[in-house]
Amino acid sequence: MKPTETESSPAAAPVRAPEAVFEKIAVTIAEHPAEACRQLAAGIRQLIERRQAEGRQAVLGLATGSTPVPLYRELVRLHREEGLSFANVVTFNLDEYYGLERHHPESYHRFMCDQLFDHIDIDPDHIHVPDGTVPPDEILQYCQDYERLIDEAGGIDLQILGIGRTGHIGFNEPGSTRESLTRRITLDRVTRQDAATDFLGVENVPRFAITMGVGTILRARKIVLMAWGENKAGVVAEAVEGPVTEAVSASFLQGHGDATFLVDRCAASHLTRVRAPWLVGPVEWSAGTAFRAVVWLAQKCAKPVLKLVDEEYNEHGMSDLVTERGGGYPINIEVFNRLQQTITGWPGGKPDADDSNRPERADPYPKRVLVFSPEPQDALVAMGGVLERLIEQGHDVRFVAMTSGSLRVRDEDALRFCRVLLELSELSGEESWGGQEREAEKLVRLLDGKAPFSEDPQEVRRIKALLLRGEVRDACAVCGLARQRVLFLDLPFYERGRYRRFLSGPDDVQCCVEVLREFQPHQIYTTGATADPSSLSAVTYGVLESAFDQVRPESWSQDCRVWHYRCRENPYQPHEISMAMPLSPDQLERKARLLLGFQTISKVELAVCDENRDLAAAYDRLGLAEYEAIEALQRRR
């Protein structure tokens, strides 16, 4: 008799992926968010078409924010180009700011219409977005009704989520319970800070929101949480690998039978399998991996690199490395030297020096350098010290403000400027002031008549851009850069768009191609490669990358090095750094003063000086020299 499986050959236990030891939710890591969204959209299409064939509705739970933007673009494309119909789709959005009318430019209702609903054939009666204007005494009933509507629709088939830096899903801020249902909540300080650019200042971000609860979300049959970019890496790891806790509401997804995290490489970068793969299984010990591992080990053991001992290697999954290299100490020395070699006070290379172990080559000297800044202040925040040093050391530097930055400038600041103009013209009483006076009066009228957060008329955008231009020229002058060496590209996509919804085009790329061709740089400084694709820095990075692709066949481009700085993402950690430039106490103070010259600078941006100090302290703890502060760059090949 043939033995049944249960008798003598028990079915093998399902093979658990090694990373599952750490990861308590399924995680799919995609090469790029666009690719991930294509796959997810294909899954949504299958669901919709299956339901169409059955004569039933498909119920989708939807999120707003930057993260789902590429997904919605792909769904719109499927509708337009491949005829996918949404006629049988019912949607429930997670949340809405409390106090915002549905037509308010920053309302989630408006966002959904702009990004998805206005471009597909969904029945408007099938759309549900919490109403941010329900009177306080009706909220309880309204929220109960929202829950009931979801149930009456048959429950959510697929819930799409993003994740906030507080670990929230929907707007379930820390403290939300597993059982929580749709309700009004108070937004966390970090969440409001993250929305500050959209609302032109944190003080304008609503304090409350209506959100589906964690319990509501967990009732969905299938859940996909998406996360892109370096900024989400920490919270993704906490939610996936950490304990289930009310402090990180996304961690409750660990208890759902069909929840997946769909992340790009950057958002996955703090998962143990990526951050410390030697803890998960055997690894190939390339020089790069060994370097990363030893820096990690020193930080883990809170010891300088040169003091690590073999036992510590063994206890942390690195015994094979020690065996391969015949002991830990030679590795300590190798890693220490490599770290030491990242430190330089010569970001443009030291002329006439042996450069075999320096981050940047000595020749040619001086170098032609282009510093690209997504909004005018970004590069100054991230690398104000490096910029100053490049100029001081005689390089031919151009500061390129890629966008006008006008979206950052508050109406009050523009108004104040116009009123000063009016005062001046009144004082001077000269006829020649007539033109300016009329212009200023017109601007005051336009600004006064503007609905809150609505789009600025062209004239207002221009004056805001000019205010920022003045500030950035002044800041560059503090670094020693002449005013005429600051270029303003005013990329068109920015002038057409809003935060989270930018779409670049060939005209943007062409602007960058022209600058590259004209200056034929030896060094480029840029940012945004590891950011959320809908963020401004990622969009400008994409534009520059496409421009560089166009000039790649030109011989000068072979001799051009690209250096990357981080502005709104997590700061670089020592193992990621290719150039560490120390700042003296004076230099750091100058940098802080320079940043304060921007009316639009935020607290978060000002905190960069503390980050520069923290990085210096981290180098010190690893056993390197103790500097006041360090700015970090990574070389991109």
- Enumerate binding residues for ligand F6R (CB under 6 A): 63-67, 94-95, 108, 162-164, 168-171
Q: How many CA atoms lie within 13 A of 384 on its CB side?
A: 32
Beta-carbon contacts of 30 under 8 Å, excluding residues fewer than 6 positions away, are 36, 39, 262, 263, 264, 265
Alpha carbons 358 and 343: distance in angstroms, whole number:
8
Coil, strand or helix at 122: coil
324 belongs to the catalytic site = no
User: Could you tell me which of 452, 409, 536, 569 has the C-alpha nearest to residue 205?
Assistant: 452
At 154, list the tokens.
Answer: 């048959």
Choose between 238 and 388: whose C-beta lies nearer to ligand F6R. Answer: 238
**What single letter denotes the amino acid at residue 449?**
G
Alpha carbons 218 and 587: distance in angstroms, whole number:
51
Q: Would you list the DSSP string of 173-236?
A: -TT--TT--SEEEEPPHHHHHHTTTTTTSGGGS-SEEEE--HHHHHTSSEEEEEE-SGGGHHHH
CA-based end-to-end distance of the chain = 64
Choose between 170 and 497: whose C-beta lies nearer to ligand F6R. Answer: 170
User: Smallest gap, in angstroms, from Cβ of residue 105 to ligand F6R?
Assistant: 16
Is there a cis peptide before residue 136, judged by omega within 30 degrees of 0? no
User: Smallest gap, in angstroms, from Cβ of residue 24 to ligand F6R?
Assistant: 20
Choose between 186 and 314: whose C-beta lies nearer to ligand F6R. Answer: 186
Catalytic residue among 19, 173, 569, 611: 173
User: Smallest gap, in angstroms, from Cβ of residue 379 to ligand F6R?
Assistant: 23
Mode of pairing for the β-strands spanning 579-583 and 629-636: antiparallel
Choose between 143 and 383: whose C-beta lies nearer to ligand F6R. Answer: 143
**How many Cβ atoms from other residues are within 10 Å of residue 149's Cβ?**
13
Residue in the shown chain whose Cβ atom is closest to ligand F6R: 162
User: Smallest gap, in angstroms, from Cβ of residue 151 to ligand F6R?
Assistant: 20
Choose between 65 and 213: whose C-beta lies nearer to ligand F6R. Answer: 65
Q: Would you list the DSSP string of 34-101?
A: HHHHHHHHHHHHHHHHHHHHHT--EEEEE--SSTTHHHHHHHHHHHHHH----TTEEEEESEEETT--
At 286, list the tokens.
Answer: 């390339």
Q: How many CA atoms lie within 13 A of 145 on its CB side?
A: 10
Alpha carbons 486 and 74: distance in angstroms, whole number:
38
Choose between 94 and 331: whose C-beta lies nearer to ligand F6R. Answer: 94
Coil, strand or helix at 5: coil
Q: Tokens 């990861």, residue?
A: 23
**What single letter denotes the amino acid at residue 325?**
R
CA angle 304, 305, 306 (to 5 degrees): 95
Choose between 40 and 335: whose C-beta lies nearer to ligand F6R. Answer: 40
| DSSP class of 395 | -
Alpha carbons 527 and 570: distance in angstroms, whole number:
12
User: Smallest gap, in angstroms, from Cβ of residue 495 to ligand F6R?
Assistant: 22
User: Smallest gap, in angstroms, from Cβ of residue 211 to ligand F6R?
Assistant: 7
Choose between 170 and 571: whose C-beta lies nearer to ligand F6R. Answer: 170
* H-type alpha helices, 371-501: 378-392, 411-428, 434-448, 458-478, 492-496
CA angle 625, 631, 636 (to 5 degrees): 110
* Residue 41 · residue 277 · CB < 8 Å: no
Coil, strand or helix at 317: coil
User: Smallest gap, in angstroms, from Cβ of residue 605 to ligand F6R?
Assistant: 18
Choose between 66 and 403: whose C-beta lies nearer to ligand F6R. Answer: 66
User: Smallest gap, in angstroms, from Cβ of residue 169 to ligand F6R?
Assistant: 6
Rg of the chain taking only CA atoms, in angstroms:
27
Cross-strand pairs, 59:
90
Choose between 175 and 470: whose C-beta lies nearer to ligand F6R. Answer: 175
Choose between 95 and 147: whose C-beta lies nearer to ligand F6R. Answer: 95
User: Smallest gap, in angstroms, from Cβ of residue 189 to ligand F6R?
Assistant: 14
Please give the positions annotated as active site. Answer: 173
